[in-house]
Structure 1
């Protein structure tokens, strides 16, 4: 069986060479064998947004939040993807959720699960 982490590194290498479509194809391969691989969804969100595939980008950013519901960074990324896709109200909502996670009493990044 293919290793999602190795494949992810291959996808990032393709992106770094400027071949975003090939990187997206490699990430989509990972998605079929490891649908819960959060890094894959995060990278797909960014790359698909750059390719103008906004609905797909947002879907992947939402999946990252679903996989990491208490992670403020995931909410922040969702906010950025919404913003870059021109969906400002949704961006503001996600940013607000991210900020509330960061402000919890002694929970740091919100990973404590109290928010």
Structure 2
């Protein structure tokens, strides 16, 4: 079985070098090795967003929230993903989703 942390590290280097496709491939391997690796899903959301694959980015950002439902930052990142999807597509339905995710983040931060 492949080491998801090592694959994530390779993906991070590829992303830093500007090879988004290569980074996505390594992150796909990392997620296949451990689907519960939230950091790989988070990084994949960023990479897919940069590639303009908004639906894929959202799926990965949502998965992070499933894996870490009590982490306010996960919902903040999901909100940003929705905002970027709106900016990239002009689809106004993403605005409410971004607001809902941010509200969830604030609720978690407030202890609710």
* Structure 1 length-normalised TM: 0.88
Q: 1:11 — aligned with what?
A: 11
Counterpart check, 1:90 vs 2:97: yes
Cα distance per residue 1:39-59 (max 9 Å; x no partner): 110001111011110111000
User: Following TM superposition, by how much is the alpha carbon of 1:31 offset from its aligned partner in structure 2, in angstroms?
Assistant: 1.3
Cα RMSD of the aligned pairs, angstroms, is 0.8
> Quick check: which one's helix share is greater?
2
1:30 deviates by 1.0
Unaligned runs of 5+ in 1: 105-114
Aligned residues: 105
Structure 2 unpaired stretches of 5+: 87-93
CA apart distance, 1:97? 0.5
Q: Cα deviation per residue 1:54-103 (whole Å; 9 max; x = unaligned)?
A: 11100000000000000000000000000100111100000011011112
1:57 & 1:103 partners in 2: Cα distance? 27
Question: 1:1-115 residue pairs with structure 2 within 5 A?
Answer: 1-86=1-86, 87-104=94-111, 115=112
Give the Cα–Cα distance (whole angstroms) in 1 for the partners of residues 9 and 33 of structure 2. 15
Structure label with greater radius of gyration: 1
CA distance in 1, matches of 2:55, 2:103: 21
